Amino acid sequence: MGSDFMLRFNIRQIEAFRAVIETGNMTQAGEVLGVTQPAISRLIRDLEEEYGLQLFARHAGRIDPTKDAIAFHAEVERCYGELEQMVKFATELGAHRKKRLRLASTVGHSYFFLPEVIKTFHARWPDVVISLVSGPSPEVVEHVEKGRCDIGLALLPLNVHGVAIKTMPETNLVCVMPKDHALAKLNSVAPQDLKETPLLLISESSLMRKRLLKAFNEANVTPNVILDSTYTGPICSLVASGMGVSIMDILTADAYSNLEIEIRPFSPSIPCELKLVLPESQVLAPPAQAFVEILMERAR
Q: Are residue 142 and residue 112 in the same domain, yes or no?
A: yes
Give the residue-averaged pLDDT of 233-242: 91
Q: Are residue 200 and residue 254 in the same domain, yes or no?
A: yes
Residues with Cβ within 8 Å of residue 104, at least 6 apart in sequence: 132, 133, 134, 135, 139, 140, 143, 144, 148, 149, 151, 152, 153, 154, 277
- At position 7, the amino acid (one-letter code) is L
Which domain, by its residues, includes 203? 173-265
Please check whether residue 212 is in contact with residue 200, taking contact to mean a CB–CB distance below 8 angstroms.
no
- CATH, residue 27: 1.10.10.10
Q: Are residue 180 and residue 239 in the same domain, yes or no?
A: yes
Q: What pLDDT was estimated at residue 62?
A: 77
Residue-wise burial string across 82-93, b where 16 or more C-beta atoms lie within 10 A, e elsewhere = eeeeeeeeeeee
The angle subtended at Cα 241 by Cα 237 and Cα 246, nearest 5°, is: 60
Q: Are residue 281 and residue 153 in the same domain, yes or no?
A: yes
Task: Single out the residue in 48, 71, 94 at which a domain terminates.
Answer: 94
Rg (CA), the chain: 29
Least confident of 6-15, 165-174, 203-212: 6-15
> Residue 9 — very low, low, confident or very high, per pLDDT cuts 50/70/90?
low
Q: Are residue 233 and residue 153 in the same domain, yes or no?
A: no
Give the residue-averaged pLDDT of 196-208: 87
Task: Single out the residue in 75, 94, 113 at which a domain terminates.
Answer: 94
Q: What pLDDT was estimated at residue 3?
A: 44
HEC readout, the chain: CCHHHHHHCCHHHHHHHHHHHHHCCHHHHHHHHCCCHHHHHHHHHHHHHHHCCCCEEEECCEEEECHHHHHHHHHHHHHHHHHHHHHHHHHHHHCCCCEEEEEEECHHHHHHCHHHHHHHHHHHCCCEEEEEEECCHHHHHHHHHCCCCCEEEEECCCCCCCEEEEECCCCEEEEEEECCCHHHHCCCECHHHHCCCEEEEECCCCHHHHHHHHHHHHCCCCCEEEEEECCCHHHHHHHHCCCCEEEEEHHHHHHCCCCCEEEEEECCCCECCEEEEEECCCCCCHHHHHHHHHHHHHHC
- CATH, residue 287: 3.40.190.10
Q: Are residue 138 and residue 284 in the same domain, yes or no?
A: yes
Query: What pTM, to 2 d.p., does this model score?
Result: 0.58
More confident residue, 232 or 45: 45
Q: Are residue 177 and residue 250 in the same domain, yes or no?
A: yes
Our count of domains for the chain comes to 3
Task: Single out the residue in 29, 62, 94 at which a domain terminates.
Answer: 94
Q: Are residue 105 and residue 87 in the same domain, yes or no?
A: no
Do the strands 62-65 and 56-59 form a parallel or antiparallel pair, or are they unpaired? antiparallel
Mean pLDDT across the chain: 87
Q: Are residue 180 and residue 254 in the same domain, yes or no?
A: yes
Q: How far is CA 63 from the centre of its chain?
A: 47
Q: Are residue 71 and residue 86 in the same domain, yes or no?
A: yes
Q: Are residue 192 and residue 256 in the same domain, yes or no?
A: yes
Q: What pLDDT was estimated at residue 181?
A: 95
> Residue 7 — very low, low, confident or very high, per pLDDT cuts 50/70/90?
very low
Q: Are residue 147 and residue 285 in the same domain, yes or no?
A: yes
Least confident of 169-173, 223-227, 294-298: 169-173
Q: Name the most confidently modeled range: 84-88, 142-146, 272-276.
A: 142-146
Please say if the pLDDT value at position 290 is more than 80: yes
